[in-house]
Amino acid sequence: MVGKLLEPEIREMIAQRDFNALRTGFLEWPPADLAELLTDLPQEEQVIIFRVLPSSVAADTFEYLDVDVQTRLIHAMGQEQVAAILNEMSPDDRTTLLEELPANVVSQLLRLLTPRERAVAQSLLNYPESSVGRLMTPNFVSVRESWTVAQVLDHIRRHGADSETLNVIYVVDEAGHLVDDVRINEFLLKPLETEVRLLHGGKVPPLKVTDLESEAVEIFRKYDRTVLPVVDSDEKLLGIVTVDDVLDVAVEETTEDIQKLGAVEALDEPYLDVSLWKLVRKRAVWLVVLFVGEMLTATAMGVFEEQIARAVVLALFVPLIISSGGNSGSQATTLIIRAMALGEVRLRDWWRVMRREVQAGFFLGCILAVIGFARITIWTLFSKQYGPHGMLVGATVSLSLVGVVLWGTLAGSMLPFILRRLGLDPATSSAPFVATLVDVTGLIIYFSIATTVLRGTLL
């Protein structure tokens, strides 16, 4: 960390084309910082800097770039330079890049790899999208149960340089089946003559190569591990997955959930990188669906047009009432969807949740009813706007609020369960979706109550 060059000095060196100084200066920088700096530079300078860096540092830095920056660089760099970087990249990060590229580019790039790396890259790309295989790297250290700690340390010293991590060492049998995973601590702390079979293993169930990435996220979170082994259906050890890649998947999944909650289809890219056209498309779908659903409110209001004509005062409270239902529904659906995503609430809990939400919805409705009633009553005392039957209007609004908030809460909390039961993503029951549903039914609740309460007076 000492002697690290500051950013202005670096920019100055680039401007001066002082590549030797740059090269030395950069070696003091963590690759993540280098990647951040590079992202801000024009592409020609990015290419130059990558040419200046030793290829292992270049590959490390390249791995930290966003996939779209990587893609543009691949096209801008010379073949030799691309080959050097691709061959040095970790297999898992390389898969992440290759899976975003069109098939013809991928086959061009594969030809630049050494036969060994090409075989690795191809086998990883053969696993289905979003499967653990796509996150995996086959570079790990495996040892035998019968070896001693001293033999293992010697083996690591000779064959461990390529391994993605040495934090965990894998014990396999002759056929390559996973027997156990042992943290490096054991090898560093136990006497050198201890046999591997006597060491304290992880006992954590391995990932299956065909598991979904989202399942891997849950297992990492549950067991607090930094790396997990991956096996095939035969329990044969194929590779390892590290926590940093899983963390990226978790962040992506949460982003998708949040976007869905806001009634946007998952963008799959950083907001500012998405084209305007794609941004509109990802939002238009749901906006139109909700709009068409919301048209039913015009139909519902049409049914009650006569009542509105006779008592225009009723129309004034329509937005207040339906939005209260929508808001309480948004609250409920948000809470339940997040609790489901974290595994705090499972399908079988629906009855417990419903009981709580009915009570919560009733209380919340009563709170709003009291405030609404007070507002209308006080207004009636000082103004003639609500006519001679202000108190009755107040009663209508209050009763409707209890009904609509209760209904909104119930709908918002139960919809995620229904969607999950149907095998759909609970996050589809977005806040706007629940609000739309509640708007239509809320109108019917309101006008039905109005018809009953105001019969003989206003209606």
- Cα dihedral 291, 296, 297, 302, rounded to 10, equals 140
Span 422-451, contacts to a second copy by CB under 8 A: 431-432, 435-436, 439, 443
β-bridge mates for residue 142, sequence order: 170
Span 138-167, contacts to a second copy by CB under 8 A: 153, 156-157, 160-161, 163, 165-167
Contacts of residue 179, defined as CB under 8 A and 6 or more positions apart, other chains included, come to 145, 171, 172, 173
The residue within the footprint of a second copy, chosen from 7, 30, 114, 146 (CB under 8 A), is 30
The residue within the footprint of a second copy, chosen from 319, 347, 391, 452 (CB under 8 A), is 319
The residue within the footprint of a second copy, chosen from 55, 139, 194, 255 (CB under 8 A), is 255
Q: Which is nearer to a second copy, 23 or 118 (CB)?
A: 23
The residue within the footprint of a second copy, chosen from 8, 102, 174, 271 (CB under 8 A), is 271
- Cα dihedral 61, 62, 68, 73, rounded to 10, equals 120
261 in contact with a second copy (CB under 8 A): yes
* Dist. CA 206–CA 178, nearest whole Å: 8
Site string for a second copy, 76-115 (x = CB under 8 A): ----------------------------------------
Span 201-220, contacts to a second copy by CB under 8 A: 201-205
The residue within the footprint of a second copy, chosen from 51, 236, 375, 389 (CB under 8 A), is 375
Find the part of the chain contacting a second copy (CB under 8 A) among 70-78, 97-105, 106-114, 364-372.
364-372
Q: Is 308 left (phi over 0), alpha (psi -120 to 50) or beta?
A: alpha
Q: How far is CA 237 from CA 53, 128, 172, 210, 241, in A?
A: 35, 18, 8, 13, 12
Q: Does residue 1 contact residue 33 with C-beta atoms inside 8 Å?
A: no
Q: Please identify which residue in the block is written with the tokens 């068409």.
A: 292
414 in contact with a second copy (CB under 8 A): no
Q: Which is nearer to a second copy, 160 or 176 (CB)?
A: 160
Site string for a second copy, 55-74 (x = CB under 8 A): ---------x----------
Span 379-398, contacts to a second copy by CB under 8 A: 385
Q: Does residue 325 contact residue 438 with C-beta atoms inside 8 Å?
A: yes
Q: Which is nearer to a second copy, 180 or 213 (CB)?
A: 180
* Dist. CA 231–CA 211, nearest whole Å: 10
| Token pair for 121 | 């890259």
Radius of gyration (Cα) for the chain, nearest Å? 31
Considering the complex, what minimum distance in angstroms separates the CB of residue 377 from a second copy? 13
* Dist. CA 352–CA 163, nearest whole Å: 48
Q: Please identify which residue in the block is written with the tokens 């009432």.
A: 321
Span 279-318, contacts to a second copy by CB under 8 A: 279-280, 283-284, 286-288, 290-292, 294-295, 297-298, 301-302, 305, 308-309, 312-313, 315-318
- Cα dihedral 86, 87, 93, 95, rounded to 10, equals 80
Q: Which is nearer to a second copy, 209 or 353 (CB)?
A: 353
Span 165-184, contacts to a second copy by CB under 8 A: 165-167, 179-180, 183-184
Considering the complex, what minimum distance in angstroms separates the CB of residue 334 from a second copy? 3
Q: Which is nearer to a second copy, 15 or 272 (CB)?
A: 272
* Dist. CA 325–CA 320, nearest whole Å: 9
Phi and psi for 400 in degrees, rounded to 5?
Answer: -60, -40
Q: Binders of a second copy: how many residues, by CB under 8 A?
A: 119
